[in-house]
Structure 1
């Protein structure tokens, strides 16, 4: 579990995060949503330890990040997996080499042990025959699956995803959503996803944190989001006629 308490982050005179408190539980897919400029990316980078807040704490299963030694922080980072918005694969490496990279960086496993693990995770994301392909030979959806395989190859406790469906067609985006949720359930990972995709919110949003202007304006689930009267949330979520109709149907079914 990740617990965030009264988190503040500024850059010069710009106060980006303004006292955010929330928790992310093991085995659940948690989505952080909000408009551009709401603080989502800064918040995620704080969770990853890339930005250091001026105030507040972030705890990982009871360990407060700011109180850890340098070596302890390195050990914690080895327990984190990250899926970047653009996949961030190394163009000069094969898919297998890309997936192996965290093992080479954080473990002392033998080459055969690393290859066994690479084989396992590529099979898990349905890319069993893609080892020797280059990223340029893979579709956008395949690249996302490679990025997920790389993120889980070191058996992380915490998985972070930044707009994992960016640039994907709706069908492929659903495949990626389902894969992330399945992996979260299987390995009991604490998963946090930055997203603006309302389809993802409705499909896998077991917990949703809505940020607005650096504040946590609302939190709930993909079921309770239909019930909220929070104006900021409804303006964001139901900006399209489709979701307005979905909400009305949801309300009518429960009357």
Structure 2
């Protein structure tokens, strides 16, 4: 679980986050949505520890990050997995080597032990053994995202962060990736936070949704109530999406 208590963050006098408070439950997919410039990326980087809030607190399983020693903060960061936008795989490394990289950086396991763990997570994300020896350029975008997920979970993280994990994917592949993230979140009982603009993801896996507007938490709920809210900012955001327009068009054609 991650608890956020009234965090604020400014750059060069411009306040980007204006007092956000929320809770991201463990074992659920927690989505951050909002228009460009709403503060989503800065918020995610604060959760990752890349930015330090100017005020307020972020607690990881009830431990305030700011109160932890340097050693404890490093240990906490090792418990975080990250799926970057675009995958961010190393082109010069094979799929196996990409996934093994965090183990080499943060553990002292034997190579045999690392290889076993790499195979375990690659099998878990349903990547065929024939693909595991290839380089990223030799596999599809969807497979690259699977590799990025495998790399993010190889160290058995307590917290998983995903930045636009469906960027550049076709809708069918995006749904597969969404469901894979949901399955892994529940299977490993981790706290997953996803920064996304994809309304398909919201409707597929939005177990907890946080909507930001102008650096503030404007609304929170889940996929079952987002279409029912009377919050004007949320409805404008949802109804302007390509997905909603397609659904509405289909409804009108069915009349």
Alignment TM class, shorter chain as reference: over 0.9
- Answer whether contact 1:94 1:133 (CA < 8 A) is retained: yes
Q: Note the alpha carbon deviations across 1:131-184, whole angstroms, 9 max, x for none.
A: 210011011101000000000000000000000000000000000000000000
Aligned to 1:86: 86
Structure 2 alignment gaps of length 5 or more = none
Residues 55-74 of structure 1 aligned to structure 2 (within 5 Å): 55-74=55-74
- Mapped contact 2:199–2:243 kept (Cα < 8 A): no
- CA distance in structure 1 between the aligned counterparts of 2:147 and 2:38, rounded to whole angstroms: 29
Residue of structure 2 equivalent to 1:146? 147
Give the whole-Å Cα distance in 1 for the aligned partners of 2:14 and 2:141: 35
Partners of 1:2 and 1:190 within 8 A in 2: yes
In structure 2, the residue matched to 1:201 is 202
C-alpha displacement of 1:241? 7.2
SS at match of 1:225: coil
Structure 1, gaps ≥5 residues long = 251-255
Q: Distance in 1 between matches of 2:92 and 2:65?
A: 34
In 2, are the aligned partners of 1:57 and 1:64 still within 8 Å (CA)?
Answer: yes
Name the SS of the counterpart of 1:224 in structure 2.
coil
Segments of 4+ moved more than 4 angstroms: 244-247
**Given the alignment of the two structures, is residue 52 of structure 1 paired with residue 52 of structure 2, yes or no?**
yes
Counterpart residue number, 2:233: 232
1:196-224 CA-partner distances (Å, limit 9, x unpaired)? 00000000000000000000000000011
Match of 1:163 in 2: 164
| 2:17–2:215 CA contact under 8 A, matched in 1 | yes
> What's the CA shift for 1:240?
4.2
Check whether the contact 1:119–1:128 (CA below 8 A) recurs between aligned residues.
Answer: no
SS in 2 for 1:89: coil
Alpha-carbon offset, residue 62 of structure 1: 1.0
Q: Give distance in 2, aligned partners of 1:94 and 1:110.
A: 19
> What RMSD, in angstroms, separates the aligned Cα atoms of the two structures?
1.7
Q: What's the CA shift for 1:17?
A: 0.3
Q: Which residue of 2 aligns with 1:253?
A: none
TM-score between the two structures when normalised by the length of structure 1: 0.95
Find the residue that maps to 1:203 and give its secondary structure: helix
Report 1:87-106 matches (<5 A): 87-106=87-106
Q: 1:242 to 1:63 in 2, by over 3 A?
A: closer
Aligned pairs, how many?
Answer: 250
TM-score by length of 2: 0.95
Instruction: Tell me, in whole angstroms, the C-alpha distance in 2 between the residues paired with 1:240 and 1:197.
Output: 9
